[in-house]
Amino acid sequence: MSKSVMQKKTASPLLTIAGVAGLALSILLVQRFAFAAEPAVQIAPPALDEPATAGQATAVFAGGCFWGVQGVFQHVRGVQNVVSGYAGGAAGTAHYEQVGEGDTGHAESVQITYDPSQVSYGKLLQVFFSVAHDPTQLNRQGPDSGTQYRSAIFPVNAEQEKVAQAYIEQLDGTKVFPSKIVTRIEDNKVFYPAEGYHQNYLTLHPYAPYIAINDLPKVENLKRMEPQLYREDPVLVPNVQ
């Protein structure tokens, strides 16, 4: 079942009595379904990583529903922006309803802008594999299935591709996951930002059942497993319409 069926898109509600009740329900759902999200796995950092440099860099990952993946990386220190979007297909089909059909070549993805002097590409990969999603699930994550929910890395240069490939081989070699990693490395793909109502979705809808069950546990896992990387206040996409 796709998340478009499970959770209708709505504007962020006001914190009325109903909103407070929803927030309480969210907390109960997180407690009750703490293991409904893909399980977090403690893994070693990559043996091969990019050098620390000044300035900005970008990374593009796909790991199932972009709401949760965006929400996780918005809480990572050194990350300056995280945009939900689509990668893998053509510009003309980079629209939510079309991507949801599963035949556009796109995957729901996030584009991460980060400071390599504060957090490396390898550390982002470590969060991606250990907390943000389950890299052993083929063309699905949690309740969502289809190639649009595949596990994929879209390197923006040859160095990122080399680091990502080496890390996958490292993790498979140590057998830290119960199954082989199915994450695809897809180069020469363009990232297209998603519609405004998908941006900052986890922050705007913390008590939506889909978010509470599938995504908030991932943020808690980041806080628990990577406290030195965790930032309490998420960095949000500005000027969302």
- Judge whether 123 counts as a catalytic residue: no
Helix (H) or strand (E) holding 57: strand 57-63
Distance separating alpha carbons of residues 28 and 95, to the nearest angstrom = 34
Q: Which segments of the chain does DSSP mark as H helices, in order?
A: 3-6, 17-32, 66-73, 96-99, 121-127, 158-174, 201-204, 209-214, 216-225
Distance separating alpha carbons of residues 9 and 84, to the nearest angstrom = 15
Residue from 59, 60, 65, 119 carrying the catalytic annotation = 65
Q: How far is CA 192 from CA 7, 41, 60, 122, 189, in A?
A: 23, 30, 11, 23, 10
The pair of structure tokens assigned to 44 is: 């070693």
Distance separating alpha carbons of residues 109 and 104, to the nearest angstrom = 14
Helix pair angle (66-73, 216-225), 10° resolution: 30
The pair of structure tokens assigned to 13 is: 């509600």
Let me know: does 59 contact 114? Beta carbons within 8 Å.
yes
DSSP per residue, 70-104: HHHHTTBTTEEEEEEEEESS-GGG-SHHHHTTT-S
Residues identified as active-site: 65
